[in-house]
Amino acid sequence: MLSDRFRAAVEGRDLDRASGLFREDAAFRSPVVFKPYEGREAVLKVLRAAEEVLASGGRFRYVHQLEDEHDRVAILEFATEVDGKQVEGIDKLTFDEDGLITELKVMLRPASALQAVGARMAAEFEKAGLA
């Protein structure tokens, strides 16, 4: 599956390995901010911040993986806990004809979890120079 290498990098907390999976002009669409983060380096900074927020407690896990190879789209559903709140979400990956990720869109629920994640991500973005 196109998304297997991304999933392995995230689950293995090895985002350096994920760098080569994204196109140079890839975009990250956040559940908190309307404007996308554009460019591979910005996407990787966002992923590192997300790893710190979503995976630092050791509870992050993918629970489903769906892929449409014809449309070159994958959905990875995840679950985790942030500040005592159960978080459910999806990573929607879109791939180009070479199998590189062109867009990563993240959606989260419930609203209380989105607020907790958003607050923690804002602090991480400040550290990463993304704010």
Give the global pTM: 0.91
Tell the CATH topology of 4-128: Nuclear Transport Factor 2; Chain: A, (3.10.450)
Nearest to 5 by CA among 88, 97, 14: 14
d(CA 68, CA 31): 23
CA distance readout (Å), 99 to 77, 79, 116, 124, 129 = 20, 26, 33, 29, 29
CB 96 within 8 A of CB 104: no
Helix, strand or coil, per DSSP, at residue 88:
strand
User: Does residue 90 or residue 54 have the better pLDDT?
Assistant: 90
User: Does residue 97 or residue 55 have the better pLDDT?
Assistant: 97
pLDDT of 17 strictly over 80: yes
So what's the pLDDT on residue 98?
95
So what's the pLDDT on residue 38?
94
Q: What is the CA radius of gyration of the chain?
A: 14
pLDDT tens string 25-54: 999 998 887 789 999 999 999 999 898 888
